[in-house]
Each structure stands twice: as C-alpha cells, then as structure tokens.
Amino acid sequence: MRVGFVGTKSGLQLYKKWVNQINLPIAATSEVAHHIPFPGFEALFSAKWPDTPVTSILISDQEIVQAIRIKDRHQAIYNTVSIFENEIRRHINEEDEGVDLWFVVIPEEVYKYGRPQSRVPGSIAETSPQLMNAKLAKKLSAQPSLFDEDNETAELYRYELNFHNQLKARLLDAKAVIQVVRETTLMPEEFIENGRQTRQLQDKASVAWNLCTTAFFKASGRPWKLANVRPGVCYVGLVFKKDETQIDSQNACCGAQMFLDSGDGVVFRGAVGPWYSSETKQFHLPFVKAKIIAEQIVAAYKRDHGFPPTELFIHGKTRINKDEWEGFKAGVPENTKVIAIRIRHEKQFKLYSPTDHPLLRGAYCIDSYKKAYLYTKGFVPRLGTYQGREVPNPLMIEISFGEADMEQVLKDILGLTKVNFNRCDFADGEPVTLRFADQVGEILTATPMAHDLPPLPFKHYI
C-alpha cells in the first residue's frame, strides 16, 4: 500500500502511533458478543501498512486556524480545503511517488467549524478577506456583475459548506482517493479534558476493523467477495440530490452507482435539470436522460467484461415512472433484461419470532409476485447475537417494471447488504446500491466542477 499523509506535525505523530497499533493484534471489548479482536493489518489482508508514508505533507496549525476561523463560513471552508487540495494536487503534478490513498488527518477544529451550520465565536473569528456574502453571490449567479472579480468571488459560494465533501469533490478530476480522519479518531486517549476523553468512540479493535477495511478497499484492495454470485448481472442505484446553489428550486443533480457481483462500483454523473417536483416530493428523469445513463452503464460494463450485462437491476427508493422505464430499456441492448426495483424501509409490517431472539436475518414474506418484505437485519446464529437494539423492521421490495423471480431478487438484495466496504460489519441494513446514495449525491453537488466528470470508481466518493 502506498499511503500519503497530509496533516499537521502532531497529526503525523498520532498517525504513526496508530499505524504501529494496527500492525499488531488488538483485543476486543469482551462485554459485546459481536465484537471480534483485530488480528493485525498484515494478518488480515496479507498486505503491510507501511510504518512511514510514501510522502508526508505537513501543514502548519497556524495556517489552518487562520483559514477555518474566518467569519464568513463559505470563505472559511473554501480556503481551508484549498490548503489541503493545493498540496495534494502539487504532489500529483510534480512528484514521482505514486500514492494509492491520501490519509488526510484533520485537527478537531477543522471538524468543528468545517460543517454546515457551524459558527465561529466572535471572540476568535478572523475578518473575512472578501467583501461578499451568500445572498449577494446567489444574485450574481442569475445576473452577473460587470466586474469579473465579483463574479469570481461569488463562485466560491457554490461550494458546499462541508470540508469533507468539498475536499473529495475538488480532487475528483485529479483522481485522488481520500480518507479524511479526525486526529481524535486515531488516538482518542490523548485528548483529555477535565479528566475525561473528549470523544467516546468504539473500542480500538472496532475502529481498526472499520478504518482498515475502507482504507484497504480505497487502496485498490478487495476485502472480501460474495460466494455464489450470478455472472452477467449488474446492479444500479439511482442518485438524486437537489442543487441548492441553483436559483430554480426544482433543479437537481442525477447520477447512478453501478455495482458488480464483486462489490466494485462506478459512479456516473448525470446532468443537472428540473428533475425534482415540489408537488410529489419526488425526483424523475425524462426519457432522454434515462437512456443516456443506461447507455453509460452498459458501455462501462462492456469495457470490463467484453460483453453487455444479461440482467440490469435498477434500484431506487421511489418507483420510477413510465418515461424513465422506457428510457432505460432504450439504452440497453435487446438481449439485456431490465428490471426496476423499488426499495424502502417498512415500519407498519411486522413479523415476530416465537423464540427469545429477534427474527432471523434473511427472513422474508412474499406478498405477491411483485411485492415482498425482506429482513436484512435480525438474529444471526453464527454470531449468536442480533447487532441492533430494537425490533428489526424489514425492507419493502417491489418490482415496479420488468419480470423477475422474487426469491432471486431477495437473495440478490440480501447479498448486496454484505459488500459495504466503508466499514467492517457482518451485514448492513441496506443494499450498497442505496446505502450511499445520499453521500454520493452530496459529493456530486459539493462543487460546480463536479458537474462535468467522467465515470469514476466508487471509492472516490466514500
């Protein structure tokens, strides 16, 4: 693994201590049944996490503080992201060492003030360097100023007020894979206030399982693979996100996440348009846009496999309409079977186990050949426990368009709950096609630059 570090001098020290820990076994908390000891990174993945990064980019604490404490939050977060982005981009353009994964370790102050709704106390706030505000910038997007300087300054107000999302989005064109980690996540025991840890986290073994799994995946590893997968099948999750920087409140960004049986994924970025209806509170695409997305998916699948998929499952939280359905069908070859599946959380329908344990994970109830209920959470005999705390609720599965065997659809969706490589859980409650839809949408709309990107691997977005 070629890992690059970006952060402060103290952050680098914390990072090296953490790497030393995860290269050795870490005991689990014995009080929790499903917690498992961490065996060490090399023992787990047959790959070594290097003690020293291939490159270490140090950023001064003062430079970060001066940027993140700017009173205007748009300017503060944009300028703070620029500090990290510029250094990573400089290395990519000027240095020879390749980096598989950039480990960006941020001080707690960046996390605290680098989020939406964050406010810097007046006593420590820095004066805003630009004479601009969000209200004026929005007006200039509709009616540009005669002065180019004003229009350029207004552009930064189109960036999301989120350090994490903005940094990832701004480096998509450089194809940099980013893992943002708080200093307090690596060594929480070193951050003490009034005799107590400032943050209460999972036990160290669980943190190691989760962080190492996603890091290995982002560095082009494959933590695990499903058994008994069906060849030639492609799963797509639709992504919609309202673009708050647009004047028209109906404007939204559309996209799609394609996942293969291996768990590998690709994100396709669609166009911004009036896809949102304030009346129905739903997103829908016209025929042409749906056709374009389907064509992109088939082309990407064909590049990897040499032939188009035999089955294309489209997963969404809402039921697609007739125009979308016709568009998706028109965008695939004649021999590719398209099935549209609606998946949503169900709270009214309940099944109970006659035993002392919750219902088994994987239990299902078929209501009709088009509709069923699937329990993706529940008691797991192999673990001897249920990972949740409340009575599990099922997912409602509906075949909106197309024909498919419902039992096979349920098996596929249950399998897709086990390929969330962003953490290390026995299973997730949602299939990966929908699990990260909101997060991918946030990245797609975090910057105006993300609007014109080619398809990129899923690891760039999580």
* 102 beta partners: 4, 178
Percent of the chain with pLDDT over 70: 95
Please say whether the beta carbons of 341 and 399 come within 8 A.
yes
State the number of CA atoms in the 13 A half-sphere of 447 facing the CB.
Answer: 20
Spatial separation of the C-alpha atoms in residues 371 and 356, rounded to whole Å: 29
Rounded to 5 degrees, what are φ and ψ at 422?
A: -85, -5
Helix residue spans in 117-170 (DSSP H): 134-142, 148-155, 163-170
Please say whether the beta carbons of 410 and 394 come within 8 A.
no
Helix, coil or strand: residue 182? strand
Spatial neighbors of 152 by CB under 8 A, at least 6 apart, are none
Q: How far is CA 278 from CA 65, 248, 430, in A?
A: 41, 11, 27
Considering the domain delimited by 233-460, tell me its CATH architecture.
Answer: 2-Layer Sandwich (3.30)
Average pLDDT, the chain: 90
Mean pLDDT over 153-165 rounds to 89
Does pLDDT of 35 surpass 80?
A: no
Tokens of 201: 């986290």
Q: CB count, 10 Å around CB of 37?
A: 14
CATH fold group of domain 3-218: Rossmann fold (3.40.50)
Mean pLDDT over 371-389 rounds to 88
Please say whether the beta carbons of 106 and 49 come within 8 A.
no
Helix, coil or strand: residue 380? strand
pTM, whole model, 2 decimals? 0.91
CATH 3.30.420.10 domain residues, the chain: 233-460
Confidence category of residue 182, pLDDT binned at 50, 70, 90: very high
184-191: long-range pairs with CB below 8 Å, 24+: 184/108, 185/211, 186/14, 186/15, 186/17, 186/18, 186/105, 187/14, 187/17, 187/18, 190/14, 191/108
Report which of 53, 10, 276, 308 is spatially closest to residue 179, judged by C-alpha positions: 53
Spatial separation of the C-alpha atoms in residues 157 and 212, rounded to whole Å: 35
* pLDDT value for 139: 73
Tokens of 456: 């990129």
Least confident of 27-31, 71-75, 246-250, 409-413: 246-250
Mean pLDDT over 120-143 rounds to 81
Helix, coil or strand: residue 426? coil
Tokens of 160: 């999301």
Confidence category of residue 30, pLDDT binned at 50, 70, 90: low
Confidence category of residue 399, pLDDT binned at 50, 70, 90: very high
